[in-house]
Chain A
Amino acid sequence: MLDQLPLLVVVWPFTSAFISALLAAGRCTWLRYLAVAAMLVQLVLSAAGFVTVKNSGPIVFAAGGWAAPYGIEVELNLLAGVVLVLFAGVGLAVACYMVDAGRHDVPPAGERWFFALALVLIGSMSGLVVARDLFNLFVMVEISSLAAYGIVSVRDHPSSLEAAFKYLVLGAMGSGCILLATALVYGTTGYLDIGLAHSHMQAALAAYPRASIAALALYLVGFGLKSGIMPLHTWLPDAHGSAPTASSALLSGLVVKANAIAFFKVAFGVWGAPTLARTPLPDILLIFSILSMIGGASLAWGQRDLKRLLAYSTVGHMGYIFLGVALGGVNALGGSLMHVFNHALLKACLFMAGGLMVAKAGTRDIPSLEGIGRAMPITTGAFTIAALGMIGVPGTAGFISKWYIALGALDLGRAVPAMAILVSSLLNGVFYLPIVIEAYLRPGPYTRTEPEAPKAAMVAVCVLAGLVIFFGLWPTFPLRYLLEAARALLGIT
């Protein structure tokens, strides 16, 4: 049973997605509670997977009993364990939000399909983190992308249809690059298994230097497109900004990170850290990530639409995540993996608290949200905590990851990235704090109601805000294991 966990965390969400799609077609009314239960089971499975990996090392499962060169293997290692728990946890929070707060921006027809799509999304992203086979990884990336396009368009609003199409065109281009890169790796090394491809990579680099490096570049473009890093981010503000709130929380919280993790797995898994250091990849990533950190935050500053602001802020924070890879080194990479974890919690909390505020105000225009903090003190409080985490105030989760990335930059004697982190954090403060201050201190037209927002959604938002504080004060759980995972990725034992 335990050795099948790496496959179960993929099979379970897909099965429940299939069942909820059937129930959605039958217009079942208690579907939303079933979806929450399915996410809960997924969280239990992921947690069981993590605990097993923590105690007894990685679980490798050969599907159908065929070992690597002939069959497909899946592997649950420390990184996958932590990330699976994160995916299932945020998925559960989003499902709780959808139970009673989804109605304000998802039409009933779309709401029924939302749960099936969300479960497919969680299942495919789980499949992506456990995949050890490059083609399997591509398939999972593709399923998660399709579910992501769908989850944008469930709102059935003209702007979200347009955004979903734009996302689809650029996402499909990214998929094309990933598939071509996979074909090149297969053609040059002769293997699709990440471990076996790695052991033949040096020979491939000697025989076909250009094709091997072209594959890396194509992976960078493909996964870079899908994770919305700066020069390739143009679809992200539209898709994340015009999707329904719950979808934005999943997309900004998890999907972009899943693609970043897929890139880390492939780049470190197939090429390995020493080879990567000899390619131009770290320099290119350094430029991309600093551009994202500064550019994303600057563009967010100019936004009047709350959800577009949050979407641009995601572009900025993807920069932090890729910065750790650009720098290399255990602290920087551990910090960026930590930022994957923290930013998922922070951004899901921000999107859902912001969504509740938008539902109350009836507008996404930031100046119209003045005074909403008096009518919704708890929701705005959760928004404030997450906003402080985005800025990186000590005591919140965002601080720990930014600290480790900056530490990693200074370890290597690189002052410019550390400065960029500081500047980007300041910019985050410049655009997040006025929203919070004006929500609390300015008078507004809103009256307090009891309860101030739908209950299940409030619980989800408050738990996420609580976790932001918890992981800010006691970061040991993810940090210790993610630093170990960073060591494993870099090949340092």
Chain B
Amino acid sequence: MVERIAANLNYLMPIMLFAVGMYIMLVRNNLIKKVIGLNIMETALFLFIISLGYVHHGLPPIDPTRDVNRYINPLPQALVLTGIVIAVSTSAFALSLVVRIYNRFGTLDADELVRRTRRT
């Protein structure tokens, strides 16, 4: 059991981090904290995907004269690069919404926000 956990630690930790991010997004009332939770969740995913392509003592996959079997997988890195762009744009949009909401309502508390939108 312990060996299994140790062997899969690189998968286990990102999944735990993913759950932490999701928990923050669902439970925290502060809108900024929700955005932070979103970023934690996405970073956890990037770590997970990167670790899929990890090879111990790996080589960059560009030099064909060296040991091909030790090449690391470049595809997950390309995926994560795209994922980061998406995460940044989502965060940027979320934060701009938060700014708008704060200007309109003067609060960052989700419950308070729901109470005030009911009134308008």
A168 with B117: CB separation less than 8 A: no
A179 with B94: CB separation less than 8 A: no
A490 within 8 Å of B (CB atoms): no
Distance to closest chain A CB from B84 (angstroms): 12
B117 with A159: CB separation less than 8 A: yes
Residue of A nearest to B83 (CB): A179
Question: Of A146-154, A422-430, A461-469, which binds chain B?
Answer: A146-154
B97 with A153: CB separation less than 8 A: yes
User: Beyond A176-B18, A179-B83, A183-B48, is A164–B97 a contact (Cβ under 8 Å)?
Assistant: yes
Interface of B is mostly: helix
B104 with A165: CB separation less than 8 A: no
Chain A residues with CB below 8 A from B117, complex form = 158-159, 162
Chain A residues with CB below 8 A from B22, complex form = 173, 176
CA distance A175 to B25 in the complex (A): 13
A139 within 8 Å of B (CB atoms): yes
Chain A residues with CB below 8 A from B105, complex form = 158
A168 with B93: CB separation less than 8 A: yes
CA distance A228 to B21 in the complex (A): 22
How many residues of chain A have a CB within 8 Å of chain B? 26
B57-85 vs A, Cβ < 8 Å mask (1 yes, 0 no): 00000000000000000011001001100
B45 with A161: CB separation less than 8 A: no
Distance to closest chain A CB from B67 (angstroms): 20
CA distance A135 to B76 in the complex (A): 10
B-facing residues in A146-199 (Cβ within 8 Å)? 146, 149-150, 153, 156, 158-159, 161-162, 164-165, 168-169, 172-173, 175-176, 179-180, 183, 186-187, 192
Residue of B nearest to A180 (CB): B45
A159 with B93: CB separation less than 8 A: no
A105 within 8 Å of B (CB atoms): no
B-facing residues in A336-394 (Cβ within 8 Å)? none
B104 with A158: CB separation less than 8 A: yes
A146 with B93: CB separation less than 8 A: yes
A172 with B38: CB separation less than 8 A: yes
Distance to closest chain B CB from A151 (angstroms): 12
A75 within 8 Å of B (CB atoms): no
Cβ 8 A contact of A173, one of B25, B31, B93: B25
A161 with B18: CB separation less than 8 A: no
B90 with A172: CB separation less than 8 A: yes
A179 with B104: CB separation less than 8 A: no
Residue of A nearest to B89 (CB): A146
Chain B residues with CB below 8 A from A135, complex form = 79, 82
Residue of B nearest to A143 (CB): B86
CA distance A186 to B104 in the complex (A): 44
A73 within 8 Å of B (CB atoms): no
B113 within 8 Å of A (CB atoms): yes
B1-31 vs A, Cβ < 8 Å mask (1 yes, 0 no): 0000000000000000010011001100001
Chain B residues with CB below 8 A from A156, complex form = 100
Distance to closest chain A CB from B118 (angstroms): 9
Cβ 8 A contact of A162, one of B18, B90, B101: B101
Distance to closest chain B CB from A436 (angstroms): 29
A111 within 8 Å of B (CB atoms): no
Cβ 8 A contact of A176, one of B41, B76, B79, B97: B41
Chain A residues with CB below 8 A from B83, complex form = 179
Chain A residues with CB below 8 A from B34, complex form = 169
Cβ 8 A contact of A158, one of B41, B93, B94, B120: B120
A169 with B38: CB separation less than 8 A: yes
Distance to closest chain A CB from B41 (angstroms): 5
User: Beyond A142-B86, A159-B117, is A165–B31 a contact (Cβ under 8 Å)?
Assistant: yes
Chain B residues with CB below 8 A from A183, complex form = 45, 48-49, 52, 76, 79
B94 with A168: CB separation less than 8 A: yes
Chain A residues with CB below 8 A from B90, complex form = 142, 146, 168, 172, 175
CA distance A165 to B101 in the complex (A): 9
CA distance A183 to B46 in the complex (A): 9
CA distance A192 to B82 in the complex (A): 15
Chain A residues with CB below 8 A from B42, complex form = 176, 179
Chain A residues with CB below 8 A from B93, complex form = 146, 149-150, 168
User: Beyond A146-B89, A169-B25, A172-B38, is A161–B82 a contact (Cβ under 8 Å)?
Assistant: no
Chain A residues with CB below 8 A from B101, complex form = 158, 161-162, 165
Chain B residues with CB below 8 A from A161, complex form = 97, 100-101, 104
Cβ 8 A contact of A180, one of B48, B76, B104, B120: B48
CA distance A161 to B97 in the complex (A): 7
CA distance A149 to B49 in the complex (A): 26
CA distance A168 to B21 in the complex (A): 15
Chain B residues with CB below 8 A from A179, complex form = 42, 45, 49, 83
CA distance A173 to B21 in the complex (A): 9
Residue of B nearest to A168 (CB): B94
Between A and B, 27 residue pairs with Cβ closer than 8 Å are: A135-B82, A146-B89, A149-B97, A150-B93, A153-B100, A161-B97, A161-B100, A161-B101, A162-B114, A164-B97, A168-B90, A169-B34, A172-B94, A176-B18, A176-B21, A176-B42, A176-B45, A179-B42, A180-B18, A180-B45, A183-B45, A183-B48, A183-B49, A186-B49, A186-B52, A186-B76, A186-B79
Known: A158-B101, A180-B18, A186-B52. 7 other contacts (CB 8 A): A150-B93, A153-B97, A156-B100, A168-B90, A176-B22, A180-B45, A183-B49
